[in-house]
Structure 1
Amino acid sequence: MKEIIVGENEQDKRFDSFLKGYLKEASGGFIYKMLRKKNITLNDKKSDGSEKLKKGDVIKIFFTDDTLNKFRGKGTLKDSLEPELKAYEKLGKLTVIYEDDNIVLVDKPAGVLSQKAQKEDYSLNEWLIGYLLDKGDITVDSLETYRPSICNRLDRNTSGIVICAKSLTGARKMNELIKDRNVGKFYRTLVKGKIDKDFSLKGYLSKDEKKNKVVILDKDPHNPDFSYIETEFHVVGYNSESSLTMLEVKLITGKPHQIRAHLSSIGHPIIGDIKYGGSAYKKINYQLLHSYRLQFPQGLDEPFSSLSGKEFIAPLPKEFDIFE
């Protein structure tokens, strides 16, 4: 018999939805049959699966170990965590800017993937689980019902702040704030040439997934493949010796490669951004783009009230020293 105590990461889920995720190899029909026969109970009572789970509820599954393992999938969860543990070992102790019970803000270095592109990749998603396991904030058992993950993505060679959710509560709130554009996301970047005043750009973007590259049009093509984009640019400074301008960029919308393609479209591609018309600069052959500053809105309720109005900064990487 397997007993599961419902925690914060499982509460508010429908019972049958939880079971379908937990017993991923079992059919829906089989699960409902087990509920009818009381081989699966909720708080020691018969259930039809429609109940909303509450923290502290007790789920009992009266299967043999072999049957439970069969419907949970081959192997054990511990065995399957090798990628996460290797990612944490390989990437090391990344800089954590802020952490509480629900989220982690991590300063991602350039060259690290936010999410896996291929099976053998190490990414921030796997690192996060390895990091939390090492700290003891999560357990192998807790991963059976919720897996912490990142909430926003940065390109492999874009560095800076990434929001990671430790709990389902954190994931729901961060995703809501990002979707509603209530989190201020500011980047720093260097471009060749002089820009002497602040400006904003609007357009319509479409991504070619095969080429992993986007195109921007000034006017609405009335094509569902294109999305409206808007970006604001503030001039931080200009270095006349190197002819470089440092910009702080605010994303109004957040689409793939938006900043890179927008700057390229006005003839000021990012230093090192070869894909979008830039050129290598002093051995920098990737886009010098850094997620520098994150602003949370005022008036957040518990358990996020401590984030209300807060600003977090990830210091510029050493590669930005070329501006000095």
Structure 2
Amino acid sequence: MRQIIIRENDAGQRLDKFLAKALPALPKGLMCKFIRTKHIKRNGKRCAVSDRLEPGDVLSFFISDDFFNQNVPRQTPVFLHAPARLDVMYEDAQVLIVNKPAGLVVHTDDRGTGDTLVNRVLHYLYKTGAYDPAAEQSFTPALCNRLDRNTGGLVIGARTAAALREVNELIRSRRLVKQYLCITAAPPPKKQDRVQAYHRKPQAGNLVEIRDTPGGGFANIDTEYRVLAQQKELSLVLVTLHTGRTHQIRAHLAHLGAPLLGDNKYGNVQANRRYGVFTQQLWAWRLIFPALEGVLAPLSGRTISAPDVPFLSTYFPGVELPARSET
């Protein structure tokens, strides 16, 4: 018989989800059979695949040792091949917020890129002693939001399972305010507005569709913008997202006639060539947290801003960005 004691980072998961990570050599069908026949018990009693695990739960296994991968040699974690270099804006025992450079992919892509933001975060946490994969039974620190490769800015990383759940819920409930700075190659229709539209991402390709009326497969999007400064055809725009769809800012502003400078998907090719810019000038600039309790309490009411937005000095040097109270 073997036993596993559920720790804080394992709690809150369904039993089957935990076992899939803790015992990857155990086929799902056989796992369900072992649970049904009481070869796997929770706190000495019959359990179900849908049981939610709690800290201190004891799982007992009356199954072959072969399923525990005891003879699998340890391998160097993949994340150690990525740099541990990060621009950390905020960190506590539960979360860290980093300023991602443009050009860095967030997760491994179709090209198998190893130098990703998530791998840099894992290497950083490993190097600082905050994460030891050998000591974890099922949890790996994770990123809670994502940005396109060529979009820079603030990304939240969860150091614990509890933080991951709470940040994800914060984003899902739209209580976390996310603000972006961008340069548009033409002025938006108004100096300030909050606009609704409908968004669809086709299964084929990586271009989204925007329309002003509902349609099959289209979901509502809600984008608020404010023009902070203008210089000839260029505008510096502050965008507040009220929904978070794929390419929402890029596609929605292009739909309004104000495509992002440098955008190679939705942008103005002539303007991009004229300025010699071929990546979207977009930065996830600021996060505004509501009143919070629990593991996120240290972030309650706080505003985290990226101190350096590279394209500002090029197109709008010396511009004064709005304080939180001005948004």
For residues 3-51 of structure 1, give each alpha carbon's deviation from its aligned partner in whole angstroms, at most 9, with x where no partner exists.
Answer: 54322111233445422432233235644665689875655x3553566
Q: Is residue 182–residue 297 contact of structure 1 (8 Å, CA) maintained in 2?
A: yes
Q: Does 1:203 align with 2:197?
A: yes
Q: Does 1:48 align with 2:47?
A: yes
Rounded Cα–Cα distance in structure 1 between residues aligned with 2:111 and 2:127: 23
Rounded Cα–Cα distance in structure 2 between residues aligned with 1:268 and 1:68: 56
The residue that corresponds to 2:26 in the other structure is 26
1:175 alignment partner, one of 154, 161, 168: 168
Name the SS for the 1:231 alignment partner. Answer: strand
Taking structure 1 as the reference length, what is the TM-score of the superposition?
A: 0.84
Matching of residues 166-245 of structure 1 within 5 Å: 166-194=159-187, 197-220=191-214, 222-223=215-216, 225-240=217-232, 243-245=233-235
Rounded Cα–Cα distance in structure 1 between residues aligned with 2:184 and 2:281: 9
Q: Is residue 35–residue 46 contact of structure 1 (8 Å, CA) maintained in 2?
A: no
Rounded Cα–Cα distance in structure 2 between residues aligned with 1:155 and 1:28: 34
Q: Is residue 41–residue 47 contact of structure 1 (8 Å, CA) maintained in 2?
A: yes
Rounded Cα–Cα distance in structure 2 between residues aligned with 1:226 and 1:36: 42
Matching of residues 93-108 of structure 1 within 5 Å: 93-108=85-100
Name the SS for the 1:131 alignment partner. Answer: helix
**Percent identity between the aligned chains?**
34
Q: Is residue 98–residue 106 contact of structure 1 (8 Å, CA) maintained in 2?
A: yes
Matching of residues 106-145 of structure 1 within 5 Å: 106-118=98-110, 120-122=112-114, 123-145=116-138
* Aligned-partner residue type, residue 85 of structure 1: L
Q: Does 1:305 align with 2:301?
A: no
Residues 202 and 12 from structure 1, CA distance in 2 versus in 1: closer, same or farther, beyond 3 angstroms?
closer
Residues 287 and 19 from structure 1, CA distance in 2 versus in 1: closer, same or farther, beyond 3 angstroms?
same
Rounded Cα–Cα distance in structure 1 between residues aligned with 2:158 and 2:253: 31
Q: Is residue 41–residue 60 contact of structure 2 (8 Å, CA) maintained in 1?
A: yes
1:260 alignment partner, one of 250, 266, 270: 250
Residues 150 and 179 from structure 1, CA distance in 2 versus in 1: closer, same or farther, beyond 3 angstroms?
same
Q: Is residue 233–residue 249 contact of structure 1 (8 Å, CA) maintained in 2?
A: yes
The residue that corresponds to 2:77 in the other structure is 81
Rounded Cα–Cα distance in structure 1 between residues aligned with 2:60 and 2:259: 59
Q: Does 1:286 align with 2:282?
A: no
Rounded Cα–Cα distance in structure 1 between residues aligned with 2:75 and 2:297: 38
Residues 52 and 226 from structure 1, CA distance in 2 versus in 1: closer, same or farther, beyond 3 angstroms?
closer
Rounded Cα–Cα distance in structure 2 between residues aligned with 1:143 and 1:119: 28
Q: Is residue 26–residue 67 contact of structure 2 (8 Å, CA) maintained in 1?
A: no
Q: Does 1:269 align with 2:259?
A: yes
Name the SS for the 2:295 alignment partner. Answer: coil
CA-CA distance at 1:173 after TM superposition: 0.6
Rounded Cα–Cα distance in structure 1 between residues aligned with 2:311 and 2:58: 53
Q: Is residue 133–residue 140 contact of structure 2 (8 Å, CA) maintained in 1?
A: no
Rounded Cα–Cα distance in structure 1 between residues aligned with 2:9 and 2:207: 37
* Aligned-partner residue type, residue 151 of structure 2: T
Residues 33 and 277 from structure 1, CA distance in 2 versus in 1: closer, same or farther, beyond 3 angstroms?
closer
Name the SS for the 1:141 alignment partner. Answer: helix
Name the SS for the 1:9 alignment partner. Answer: helix
* Aligned-partner residue type, residue 209 of structure 2: V
Rounded Cα–Cα distance in structure 2 between residues aligned with 1:205 and 1:14: 33
Rounded Cα–Cα distance in structure 2 between residues aligned with 1:80 and 1:2: 26
Rounded Cα–Cα distance in structure 2 between residues aligned with 1:119 and 1:75: 27
Rounded Cα–Cα distance in structure 2 between residues aligned with 1:194 and 1:53: 53
Taking structure 2 as the reference length, what is the TM-score of the superposition?
A: 0.84
CA-CA distance at 1:203 after TM superposition: 0.9
